[in-house]
Amino acid sequence: MAEIMNKSSDTHRMEKIVSLCKRRGFIFQSSEIYGGLNGLWDYGSLGVELKRNLKNYWWRLMVHERDDVVGMDGSILMNRAVWKASGHEDTFTDPMIECMQCKRRYKADQISREVPYHATVNVIAKADDGSEHVIPLQVGGSSAEDVRQKARVQFRCVAPNATFVSMSVENAKKDTAATLCLFCGGDLSGARPFNLMFKTYVGATEDESSLTYLRPETAQAIFVQFKNVLEVSRKKLPFGIAQIGKAFRNEINPRNFTFRSREFEQMELEYFCRPEQGMKLLEYWKEERLKFYENIGIPPEKLHAREVPDEERAFYSKGTYDIEYDFPFGRQELEGVAYRTDYDLLQHQKASGKSLEYFDEETKQRFIPHVVEPSAGVDRTVLALICEAYAEDQAPDEKGKMGARVVLRFHPRMAPIKCAVFPLLKNKEPLVAKAKEIVELLRPHMYVFYDESGAIGRRYRRQDEIGTPFGVTVDFETLGEKDSSLLNTVTLRERDSMKQERVAIKDLVETLTPRIR
């Protein structure tokens, strides 16, 4: 029961997060006015800032602050030969299961993971003429509570015009064999491979000769440009090439908001090394990457480095860690850190006939470098940041009365807006002028937001809800009206503690910049 309670409160939490994301402009459904397109999302004005802050911080740490890494930006479309050589054309598949009745498609592991329960749910519904009917449904789900929720969704689809009255659940039983459809209880087909790459055609003819794919990962551009980058950067092993960019996967079942999308961004580093350095560097990068997540505000107790067992690992990998985070919908992967040996470069060398060897001037050896790859998802990390930041607490309102507050406790480094500036009253010209002066003062150093409308308490709340860590208020004391020693000072309010301090305007940049970097 406790498990069910937790699960439903986590579901509830996720619903609140999704709704806040839309309400405040973090994330919208793509093409929403046309009914959306499954697995595709748009980032609004705050979402795009959060995403940029994350990518910029990754770039700063992985490229700018290191001597041994350079960046690149590859094209999304590449010669089809790349995908043949890398193995993606033949093997970038997920096992897919289809319902024989409603034709819904599932990823095979999703069925076995999510359907321990099956039940007959009898929904009592009222028709337009007031008569009541029993609608029997076959439903599968991850728990008894989940079965009830799914029954409601199914009911809406089979009887969109009827009014729900009540439901009773019969014959709930564990279905470890997982042989029935999650949605309609129909029989399922056996698993067959489904390639996740989106096909497209380059040029005016649409046939096999012009076929290629939208890249399902950014890494391959790095491997095929390895020689060019090596020659111009004149780096010695070990060294890395980093890239941030879009990737596309025709996921069978996109879900959990942006967690599994069909278009997403990756931040990938290919760190090339000598064969004997591979295992040690795998450990090194796992630790570095864990530190990265802590630095952006994910607490260590919610991060896990799972050692991927032999049977789950790609055959060419000698060791892989999945860095996982405890999302409200369960523990899930944020990033893979894999020691991929010399597999990728060797494949491309064989297929292209071009040497991708490295010449070591000291030992005079020529060999294919090995590679360790930390591969992170931008969208998944943004989602983790939002889930982690979301909190509800108590705060005083305009009249000093305590009330519920929704706050996004982003690390200031990640927060979309760093500082909000408020004149206490919008109809007092000297307050407004001073506040606008402060906006101009801060603008070269951070993203600031000016707001003059509504009671000051309400303005604070609006900023709390979008995670702005600092608020600056210009009041009559700023103008030196009550106490001349307070002339040109402002109130600086911190979002989480709600503590207020008096700071001189001339010290604001110096006070805030170290806290947001």
Q: Which of 51, 289, 380, 495 binds ligand ATP (CB under 6 A)?
A: 380
Q: Are 182 and 106 in contact (CB under 8 A)?
A: yes
Q: Are 148 and 163 in contact (CB under 8 A)?
A: no
Concatenate the DSSP letters of all residues of 351-388 into one string: HH-----EEETTTTEEEPPEEEEEEEEHHHHHHHHHHH
A 10 A CB-CB count for 103 gives 11
* Stretch 209-228 residues interacting with ligand ATP (CB under 6 A): 217
Q: Which of 336, 369, 374, 412 binds ligand ATP (CB under 6 A)?
A: 336
Stretch near ligand ATP under the rule CB under 6 A, chosen from 220-228, 333-341, 430-438, 484-492: 333-341
| Nearest C-alpha neighbor of 220 from the set 89, 69, 309 | 89
A 10 A CB-CB count for 417 gives 20
Three-state SS for 408? strand
Nearer CB in complex with ligand ATP: 24/215: 215
Cis peptide leading into residue 238 (ω within 30°) = yes
Q: Please give the residue whose beta carbon sits closest to ligand ATP in the complex.
A: 377
Q: Which of 98, 146, 326, 335 binds ligand ATP (CB under 6 A)?
A: 335
**Phi and psi (nearest 5°) for 207?**
-145, 180
Concatenate the DSSP letters of all residues of 428-486 into one string: -HHHHHHHHHHHHHHTTTS-EEE--SS-HHHHHHHHHHTT--EEEEE-TTTTTSS-GGG
Stretch near ligand ATP under the rule CB under 6 A, chosen from 12-20, 369-377, 384-392, 425-433: 369-377
* Residue 146 to residues 116, 118, 140, Cα–Cα distance (Å): 11, 10, 8
Q: Are 265 and 357 in contact (CB under 8 A)?
A: no
Nearer CB in complex with ligand ATP: 98/268: 268
Nearer CB in complex with ligand ATP: 230/383: 383
Work out how close the CB of 199 gets to ligand ATP at its nearest, in angstroms, rounded to a whole number: 17
Strand partners, 132: 126
Q: Does 376 sit near ligand ATP (CB under 6 A)? A: yes
At position 340, the amino acid (one-letter code) is: R
Q: Are 419 and 466 in contact (CB under 8 A)?
A: no
Tokens at 304, concatenated: 């896990």
Work out how close the CB of 336 gets to ligand ATP at its nearest, in angstroms, rounded to a whole number: 4
With a CB cutoff of 8 Å and minimum separation 6, the contacts of 140 are 114, 115, 117, 118, 119, 147, 150, 175, 178, 180, 181, 182, 183, 185
With a CB cutoff of 8 Å and minimum separation 6, the contacts of 37 are 30, 31
Q: Which of 264, 272, 285, 410 binds ligand ATP (CB under 6 A)?
A: 264
Work out how close the CB of 70 gets to ligand ATP at its nearest, in angstroms, rounded to a whole number: 21
Work out how close the CB of 335 gets to ligand ATP at its nearest, in angstroms, rounded to a whole number: 5
Work out how close the CB of 150 gets to ligand ATP at its nearest, in angstroms, rounded to a whole number: 22
The crossing angle, in degrees rounded to 10, of helices 378-389 and 45-59 is: 110
Q: Does 261 sit near ligand ATP (CB under 6 A)? A: yes
Strand partners, 504: 489
Work out how close the CB of 195 gets to ligand ATP at its nearest, in angstroms, rounded to a whole number: 13
Radius of gyration of the chain (CA): 27
Work out how close the CB of 275 gets to ligand ATP at its nearest, in angstroms, rounded to a whole number: 22
Q: Are 71 and 56 in contact (CB under 8 A)?
A: no
Nearer CB in complex with ligand ATP: 374/423: 374
Nearer CB in complex with ligand ATP: 53/266: 266
171: left (phi over 0), alpha (psi -120 to 50) or beta: left
Work out how close the CB of 292 gets to ligand ATP at its nearest, in angstroms, rounded to a whole number: 13
With a CB cutoff of 8 Å and minimum separation 6, the contacts of 244 are 55, 58, 59, 73, 218, 265, 266, 267, 268, 378
Nearer CB in complex with ligand ATP: 251/342: 251
Work out how close the CB of 95 gets to ligand ATP at its nearest, in angstroms, rounded to a whole number: 12
Nearer CB in complex with ligand ATP: 338/466: 338
Nearer CB in complex with ligand ATP: 230/376: 376
Q: Does 375 sit near ligand ATP (CB under 6 A)? A: yes
Nearer CB in complex with ligand ATP: 325/470: 325
E strand or H helix at 105: strand 105-107
Nearer CB in complex with ligand ATP: 249/461: 249
Q: Does 324 sit near ligand ATP (CB under 6 A)? A: no
Stretch near ligand ATP under the rule CB under 6 A, chosen from 60-68, 160-168, 327-335, 349-357: 327-335
Q: Which of 260, 286, 340, 434 binds ligand ATP (CB under 6 A)?
A: 260
Site string for ligand ATP, 405-444 (x = CB under 6 A): ----------------------------------------
Q: Does 266 sit near ligand ATP (CB under 6 A)? A: yes
Q: Which of 374, 377, 412, 469 binds ligand ATP (CB under 6 A)?
A: 377
Work out how close the CB of 467 gets to ligand ATP at its nearest, in angstroms, rounded to a whole number: 22
Q: Which of 49, 98, 146, 251 binds ligand ATP (CB under 6 A)?
A: 251
At position 47, the amino acid (one-letter code) is: G
Tokens at 391, concatenated: 């909190």
Work out how close the CB of 266 gets to ligand ATP at its nearest, in angstroms, rounded to a whole number: 5
Tokens at 482, concatenated: 């009550």
Nearer CB in complex with ligand ATP: 138/250: 250
Work out how close the CB of 326 gets to ligand ATP at its nearest, in angstroms, rounded to a whole number: 15
Which positions lie near ligand ATP, rule CB under 6 A? 217, 249, 251, 260-261, 264, 266, 333-336, 375-377, 379-380
